Structure 1
Amino acid sequence: MMKDGTYSAWFRTPKGQGTGIVELVGGKVCGGDSVLSYAGSYEAHGDRFTAIITTRRHTPGQPSLFGPDELTLSLEGCCRGTPVTCAGFAAEAPDVPFEAILLFSVSDDAVPPPVPRPIPKFNPAPLPKPSWR
């Protein structure tokens, strides 16, 4: 089952690898990395899913892992827990295979605060004395 929320994404093609952030909510995908934005949709059926994602350059920088900046990715994957994995191709570069791993990001609100511990008192007595004293 696909959980709604924010995911850290690691992806690769034979031309290189990269990272980004993806938000999955109610069948919609949005996200990006340092040079490209992503938008699209997904459908989950049990522990399998499909997605169609378009990319668009928003900032000059490193080249796309496919060649073209603006493309449409077709993905299929498994969402049987963590991590979520998928693979596919871009219509504009069908000979370039694509793989991705998505790790669900837990919000700071979901993590309980650390348990306070007492601060030990500093006692310099057991420390060695400098020879110049």
Structure 2
Amino acid sequence: MLTDGHYMAWFKTKLGEGTGRVLLQNGMISGADTVISYSGSYQVDGTRFAAVLKTSRHAPGQPSVFGVDEVEIKLVGTATGNFATCSGEVEEVPGMLFDVTLMPVKAEADRPPERTYNPADFHPERLPKGKFR
């Protein structure tokens, strides 16, 4: 099931691929990559979902994966386990298919604590003795 939260998005078209970060919250989508911003809405029905996104350029840089900066994308997909996949078409570029995979971003609190090592805890005398020592 698709739940509210932050996701990394990997997307592709026949012109290229890219990654960005999106926030899904209460039926609304917002996000961006290095040059394009996204906004829109989504609806969830069990493991299936549908979304409508609009894009716009917010910074100079590489061309968008659509060949144009401002498009409307209609997507349908499924969410199972930790991933969601969807695909759709872009009205402004007829025949252009758009595929997206969403991967949830773990919150800092969900990550295990970083291990620290104290050099005083290293005891070489405890290592097994080989025949060359």
Q: TM-score range by the shorter chain?
A: 0.7 to 0.9
Please show how residues 51-90 of structure 1 align to structure 2 within 5 Å.
51-90=51-90
Matched, 1:15 2:15: yes
Matches of 2:15 and 2:50 in 1, distance apart? 23
| Structure 1 vs Structure 2 CA RMSD | 2.0
TM-score by length of 1: 0.86
**What amino acid does structure 2 have at the position aligned with 1:76?**
V
Residue 96 of structure 2: aligned partner:
96
Residue 4 of structure 2: aligned partner:
4
**What amino acid does structure 2 have at the position aligned with 1:87?**
S
Tell me the matched-pair count: 125
- CA-to-partner distance for each residue in 1:18-60, whole Å, 9 max, x for gaps? 0000100110000000000000000000000000000000011
Matches of 1:4 and 1:107 in 2, distance apart? 13
Q: CA deviation at 1:118?
A: 5.0
